[in-house]
A and B are shown apart, each in its own frame.
Chain A
């Protein structure tokens, strides 16, 4: 079954690659790639028992083909992982059955205007209504594929009188949600993710609130899974840039004895180091996630590790793409060339910004003062 999963993903990646230039040029949603993933039931992979490591591998495969398709897929799987994070949420079980049957696409509303980019604090809140339902209203500076998601996982304060850090995650369906688009979308890279701002309002049942406090859900599941899956797709971008650089060195016909060939070798070292770091982080998180009560994931040293994975992989992939551009030279600089690096480089530059590296370094520098094993 999981063999089917990765072959389905490879087929979807081939479809996504056919349309990637148009998706990038028009800054449009990568509909063809996502439809192909739905056709192979890839959106419910985690719910259907596909191992997490294969879903991570899928992000890398898709990242080589079309970063936007890969990012939409990765973000969706992050939300699914949150739904699967506890056995103690009956509502989610019903929803996951719908997900398998209908291949619904889940988006997330995590950032909020006025919090200064701190995902661990909210202004909006769950507001209980007199008829037993709940509502929330949130001003989001970006909602990735907000116009295309079927349903949403939104972070918000637990109640109108809760502290800003006392957050929950709410899963609300498209028909329960009003999305008012704010502004336009014309970014440098990751153009197909279509992530403008939205004013989000939703009406939902109390059962749709995730039973785990967000501070725990984030530490155990949402943050590490985000950083792991994003890193896999970013490495996919870097691998594609590296392979294009390698083609250009091969085409020069010097059998590896040129300055550019040496630069390729240096780039290979950088890529290998990044892959090793990612593989170690994936293995460790899976092991710690499987422990009863997940005590290791509650520690600040785990937070530090998950943050540093993100900051260092994001920097490294942009540097690899730039190195690949220098090796491919004018052929890589041209957009109308099979060795073009432009889109890959532009997409890779988003990595240090989505969840700002500066903010993570600010947290990490404080954590380093208390954590014993840095």
Chain B
């Protein structure tokens, strides 16, 4: 799962640093991800994992780190 998340961040995050140089808990916004790029990341994750984030999960917090993205995807997988 980690690799797939990294691939999406690499493709859509428009980060000024390589996504695989970031730690699990590092703040992606502090690393330079704009709110516009974060929307591309959300769409990229929905595609890659074939899920739909419900509105309550579409928050800044959920997409702020690799760890929080994984927690959200885990929650969706458990619920499914």
Contact = CB atoms under 8 A, between A and B. Distances in A.
A223 B9 CA distance: 29
A299 B56 CA distance: 6
A1 interface: no
Contacts of A372: 52, 54-55
A299 B39 CA distance: 12
A299 B59 contact: yes
Contacts of B59: 295, 298-300
Interface in A156-205: 162-163, 165-166
B58 A370 contact: yes
Contact of B30 (A163, A363, A369): A163
Contacts of A113: none
A373 B55 contact: yes
Interface string A353-373: 000000000010011011111
A120 interface: yes
A215 interface: yes
A301 interface: yes
A367 B42 CA distance: 10
Contacts of A299: 55-56, 58-59
Contacts of B55: 299-301, 371-373
B42 to A, nearest CB: 5
B75 to A, nearest CB: 15
Interface string A218-249: 01000000000000000000000000000000
The interface size bin for chain B is 20 to 34
Interface string A134-168: 00000000000000000000000000001101100
Contacts of A219: 60
Chain A CB within 10 A, most for which of B39, B54, B58: B58
Contacts of B56: 295-296, 299
A149 B68 CA distance: 42
A212 to B, nearest CB: 13
Contacts of A298: 59-61
A370 B46 CA distance: 9
A300 B58 contact: yes
Given A165-B35, A301-B55, A369-B43, A215 B30 contact: no
Nearest to B37: A366
Interface in B25-80: 29-32, 34-36, 39, 42-43, 46, 52-56, 58-61
Contacts of A371: 55, 58
Interface string A331-374: 00000000000000000000000000000000100110111110
A367 B39 contact: yes
A147 B53 CA distance: 47
Interface in A284-331: 295-296, 298-301
A372 B46 CA distance: 12
A240 B8 CA distance: 53
A189 to B, nearest CB: 31
Contacts of A165: 29, 34-35
Contacts of B32: 163
A312 B39 CA distance: 23
Contacts of B52: 372
Given A369-B39, A372-B52, A166 B58 contact: no
B29 A301 contact: no
Contact of A120 (B35, B42, B54, B58): B35
Given A163-B30, A215-B29, A300-B39, 20 more contacts: A162-B30, A163-B29, A163-B32, A165-B35, A166-B29, A215-B60, A219-B60, A295-B56, A298-B59, A298-B61, A300-B55, A300-B58, A363-B35, A367-B39, A369-B39, A369-B43, A370-B42, A370-B46, A370-B58, A372-B55
Interface of A: 120, 162-163, 165-166, 215, 219, 295-296, 298-301, 363, 366-367, 369-373
